[in-house]
Chain A
Amino acid sequence: MRRFLARRLAHGAAVIFIAASLSFLLVHLAPGDPFSTTLDSVSINPSVKAAWRAAYGLDRPLLEQYFRFLGQLARGNLGPSLLQPGPASTALADAVPNTLLLMGTALVLSFVIGIGVGSWQAARAGSRGDRAAGNVSLVVASLPEFWLAAVLLLVFAYRFRVFPAAGVVDLVMHDSLSPAGRLLDRLRHLALPALTLSLLGSASIARYQRAALLDVLPQDFIRTARAKGVTDRLVLWRHALRNALVPTIVLLGLSLPTLLGGAVFVEQVFSWPGLGRLAAAAFHARDYQVVIGATIMGAVLVVVGGILADLLHAAVDPRVRAQ
């Protein structure tokens, strides 16, 4: 187990290194640089621009910039943000918790709902309820996340003003609220973005979970349990579900890139100040350090999440632990 973990960590580090190099390459291959876009319209003396480029080392050969970037990165230093004051890591540190909150909530909700609905369906496979739920989850899984986000925004924030339309907290009121009020304020802001992601996520997980349970239910040990006189409910929850959870937990690790991608769209629609919104703004301004940092953070989230999913897999499945 320890060796497995060590290999997994080394693999993860290699993946992050490659992702960092790729984003560096991508940013520097693109036409223009931070000082050519936003400031083109303003008449600035070319020599001033050249001095700025020199100050940030952008006039050096690409290979030299790359090695300096790697050296800085190894010390955990991304360099200054070109767009906002302070280092790029500060901008990232502000955004990452918001994205984690959104993704974490969505992940938990979609797995709880998805496993629940999928198991409920598998327990009565072929019935009218199963087919109805199957059709609903098929349709929901086909909804584009940005569109669902926009529709929820329209219905619940504009038409019926049940939930706020944007942000993490109420910018005006939040600080003057009581602790309980602040929590409620946060939850109210979280509701629609998290609902969008978890609706979509739970639909595909339900489909997956139903299939996984239907694979397990015809097996011999289930028949044995039934023959011993174990009730249907207990067979399902104690015997079948434990085994059917294994493929679903594998899915957990695999679904992270999709979830993060969905979060990028949802953050845009709900003005949620997370990684996706930061990245989009940084791309526009060609804020190299923040762009690279956001890409690396995205890869780190996916890699770490994948390792956690593997550990969880080992925790539920003794066969994996034995290896």
Chain B
Amino acid sequence: MASSAPDRGGAFDRAGGASPWRSALATLARDRSAMAGLAILAALAVIALAAPYVAPYDPRAQPDIVTLKYLPPTLAHPFGTDQLSRDVLSRIIFGSRVSLSVAFLGVAVAVTVGTGYGAIAGYLGGKLDGFMMRVVDALLSIPRVLLLIAVATLWNGLELAGLVLLLGLTGWFGVSRLVRTLVLSAREDEFVTAARALGATHTRILIHHILPQVVSPVLVAATLAIGNVIVMEAGLTFLGMGVRPPNASWGSIVYDGRDVAAAWWISISGGAALVITVLAVNLLADGLREALNARQLPAR
């Protein structure tokens, strides 16, 4: 009898792709370059987590700073050694921990602050919204790099936590604008009116009915932001204002190689790590946008 057959699909058979998230995921899985980007990022994350097992040498070991410094790439040192005879490959592997986690956490701070600020402005509307958005306009019109350099030099010698906070607190302006626009249009949705008529509180409406609509555009923006922040942190570190020794990010490695006449491979390796990561992030972000766009973003 048919009724005794096990119900494999469950009560809600989703084979047809009923959930928007599922179909977005399916679209993403078919996008070959997005998957390549995701694979590269996953590999980088694994390498960062397993750094002590993957790295051929101790990244801080200086075996012989006279005879072993500035060794060009060989089999023993695929990316050569630096001015203190440290193995560049090992330094890049350990540097990925700093570069990736600083960027990831910085973007997390930025997204949290930006979503909160934008949601409040968009939901409350009126004069407060106008004022809050003027402030964001002003913050956006100061180049972020200038703000970063200002804070990094004025508060001389930021710890890693301070750097994360700085990157987060200078990164939320764009997110807040995006969220505010989305909230502004979501606020007018009929089911929001219905929820209000049913007596839902503002907090409930905001969290249960409005914010879920913001998730996918913010996800795309956050992915792109990670690539941006990795580069910004590296740039700041390159100028001597970001990550400081003994910590080292990829920016520190490019900085170590600034004496390019002596050794070109240090700068090039550090930069290549940056480029590959940013490229992977951009590929993934492009794919995410394609996969989520049609369903979620309001038509332009």
Contacts and interface: CB of A to CB of B under 8 A. Distances in A.
B49 interface: no
Given A147-B254, A264-B143, A139 B149 contact: no
A207 B258 CA distance: 32
B235 A265 contact: yes
A186 B29 CA distance: 51
Given A138-B279, A283-B150, A151 B271 contact: yes
Interface stretch (B10-18, B151-159, B196-204): B151-159
B140 interface: yes
Contacts of B261: 158
B74 interface: no
Contacts of A279: 146, 149-150
Contact of A303 (B141, B144, B227, B258): B141
Contacts of A141: 282
Contacts of A151: 267-268, 271
- A contact residues, range: 35 or more
A283 B149 CA distance: 8
Interface stretch (B57-65, B131-139, B212-220): B131-139
Contacts of B150: 23, 26-27, 279, 283, 291, 295
Contact of A154 (B143, B267, B274): B267
A299 B141 CA distance: 5
Contacts of A298: 141-143, 146
A18 B234 contact: no
Interface in B69-128: none
A276 B236 CA distance: 13
A26 B143 contact: no
B145 A264 contact: yes
Contacts of B238: 146-147, 265
A295 B153 CA distance: 14
A302 interface: yes
B43 interface: no
Contact of B140 (A144, A150, A257): A257
Interface residues of B, number: 39
Nearest to B33: A138
A284 B153 contact: yes
B141 A283 contact: no
Given A138-B282, A139-B279, A158-B260, A22 B153 contact: no
B50 interface: no
B275 interface: yes
A22 B271 contact: no
Given A268-B239, A279-B146, A18 B134 contact: yes
B231 interface: yes
A144 B274 contact: yes
Interface in B141-177: 141-146, 149-151, 153-155
A279 B270 CA distance: 27
Nearest to B283: A138
A143 interface: yes
A15 B138 contact: yes
Contacts of A264: 143, 145-146, 149
A14 interface: yes
Interface string B242-259: 000000000000100010
Given A11-B137, A141-B282, A147 B142 contact: no
A16 B141 CA distance: 8
A142 B149 contact: no
A176 B293 CA distance: 60
A107 to B, nearest CB: 15
A311 interface: no
Contacts of B149: 264, 279-280, 283
Contacts of A31: 154-155
A142 B279 contact: yes
B278 interface: yes
A168 B258 CA distance: 21
Contact of A142 (B143, B227, B239): B227
A92 interface: no
Contacts of A144: 231, 234-235, 271, 274-275, 278
A261 interface: yes
Interface string A26-49: 110011100000000000000000
A294 B153 contact: no
Nearest to A259: B143
Given A19-B141, A144-B231, A302-B141, 5 more contacts: A19-B142, A22-B142, A138-B279, A142-B279, A299-B141
16 contacts: A18-B137, A18-B138, A138-B279, A144-B275, A145-B231, A146-B238, A147-B238, A147-B254, A147-B274, A153-B260, A257-B143, A260-B146, A265-B145, A280-B149, A295-B146, A299-B142
Interface of A: 11, 14-19, 22-23, 26-27, 30-32, 138-139, 141-147, 150-151, 153-154, 158, 257-258, 260-262, 264-265, 268, 276, 279-280, 283-284, 286, 291, 294-295, 298-299, 302-303, 306
Closest CB pairs A-B (n = 6): A30-B154, A18-B138, A261-B145, A283-B153, A147-B271, A261-B143
